Chains A and B, each alone.
Chain A
């Protein structure tokens, strides 16, 4: 088994009296696609939020690439190699698709405001390099032709894909996809599944939240199931599908069976 890229150890997240995550432990291995599923309100997006530093966890530990993420600023977590997409699309609408990706790519630039102002060679070089890379990413994700369009004017499906391209712009080791197939039709979902596998094959590790079971089961190497903030299963897609606790969480149990 390859080594873990990120490990959540006994992570608990409380908001006042509400426990959103309770003692959750799992890891994502390098070059793996891990599906994270669970009924509404199970705490899936909270997992993303604690990994990316939106919330500071109440207790437990998150180790990314050998180092703890406790107290690390959000943009620095991104710089270390975690980038995410958003469930409700949050692109920068007044920027073009290309600029959206370039902004994320700026994360790793050495040149900043001053060298940009005076046009130092390093700034020009990085600008040129990142522009080319951003276009490559758009092509890779299959929306290259939209690069000069403002994000807010793009069709819905393209916006969803641009979210992924933008996150990849930040050169993450771990890519967090929050319901990338929301609102997609079956044909688009099949396409997306292929894209996600293509992303993994390009060397990224993917943590995927998705409601569509067939998609998750098709692309994931492993599936973690959350229910009411607790991990109830962590196994291969096949075994998870047959796990009685998972079926119970999703379908409920008949009253006379308990």
Chain B
């Protein structure tokens, strides 16, 4: 089968510095121009195309990158990832309505809150492995939602209303319906997250996560502080989820526990698995497709979710490792073939 992942990596590796910059800038430009392509076949017939770009697509991409650190890189099955998204969103909702802080000031607080809860969950949970860890994280996701549902300060089932939009700068206004601006803001966050993951993957942390995923006992016996790096994976994954949550709340102006159900955790997990666990580009592609598809085929109305499910089943059968699987190819061999 034609291997898109290896083809792409080959093109990238054969480029010099200039070539790489050209490719990167070109790719970013195309992605940034997506809001202007609403008139083409990309258009979503019923939902507002530009709003679909922001949520679910860009949000899913951001969260999938975060979850990929936990599941794809370190092999820790987290079924409660929505909790960090919710914590970011509620931090924004609460501080945005009760204090004078604006979105940009709340963003680092939201990220910090999510990271902190990552530690709270991670320290006890990461002593366990596999199925047990999955069940604990599943429980954590539900706990956060149920706390929001029952705590008066968080508005119970009515949630929080009237969350302020981010203040503009340089003449850019974040109006409720200026989806493009939100999209570009998310794009910047996504690029930051990609930078972070790529950076870490090439260094000690990436190797530690890889070794933990492949054989945790061997890793520990060869000097990898496994527990510490597992907590780090959780915390960094949480930080990305928290950032997404803050922007989500600031965009929708209204949040309620119903926005943070288990279904979101499962969908983001599906994005990661569908795209290709451990490969950041695969995960991004997976999130784009799974975010976009349900709205693209909305004209099918009732049959929509059935078709969506079928696509998932067929794809996972054809490509069980995802659309763009993790690294399988070896540099040295390619070099030898080329010479």
Contacts and interface: CB of A to CB of B under 8 A. Distances in A.
Given A116-B204, A117-B200, A123-B203, A103 B222 contact: yes
B215 interface: yes
A108 B331 CA distance: 27
Contacts of B208: 103, 106
B220 interface: yes
A83 B219 CA distance: 11
Contacts of A123: 203-204
B302 interface: no
Contacts of A95: 207, 210-211, 214
B323 interface: no
B218 A83 contact: no
B131 interface: no
Contacts of B222: 78, 83, 103-104, 107, 166-167, 169-170
A112 B210 CA distance: 15
A73 B143 CA distance: 32
Interface string B325-339: 011101111000000
A75 B332 contact: no
A147 B331 CA distance: 10
A165 B214 CA distance: 18
Nearest to A118: B199
A74 interface: yes
A173 interface: no
Name which of B208, B221, B326, B327 has the most chain A CB atoms within 10 A of its CB.
B221
Interface string A143-177: 00001111001000000000000110110000000
B205 A148 contact: no
A96 B333 CA distance: 12
A93 B208 CA distance: 14
Interface in B288-337: 326-328, 330-333
A52 interface: yes
A36 to B, nearest CB: 18
Interface stretch (A84-92, A210-218, A228-236): A84-92
A75 B224 contact: yes
Contacts of A106: 204, 207-208, 223-224
A99 B282 CA distance: 23
A113 B223 contact: no
Nearest to B332: A148
A65 interface: no
Contacts of B211: 92, 95, 103
Given A113-B232, A116-B205, A90 B223 contact: no
B25 interface: no
B225 interface: yes
B196 interface: yes
Contacts of A103: 207-208, 210-211, 219, 222, 224
Interface string B68-80: 0000000000000
Contacts of B203: 113, 116-117, 123, 127
A182 interface: no
B276 to A, nearest CB: 13
A53 to B, nearest CB: 8
A111 B204 contact: yes
B326 A116 contact: no
A79 interface: yes
List the 3 closest A-B pairs by CB distance, nearest first: A107-B223, A148-B332, A116-B203
15 contacts: A75-B223, A75-B224, A84-B221, A94-B210, A96-B331, A103-B222, A103-B224, A106-B207, A108-B223, A109-B204, A113-B232, A116-B199, A116-B200, A116-B204, A150-B330
Interface of B: 196, 199-200, 203-205, 207-208, 210-211, 214-215, 217-226, 229, 232, 326-328, 330-333
Interface of A: 52, 54, 74-75, 78-79, 83-84, 86, 90-96, 99, 102-104, 106-109, 111-113, 116-117, 119, 123, 127, 147-150, 153, 166-167, 169-170
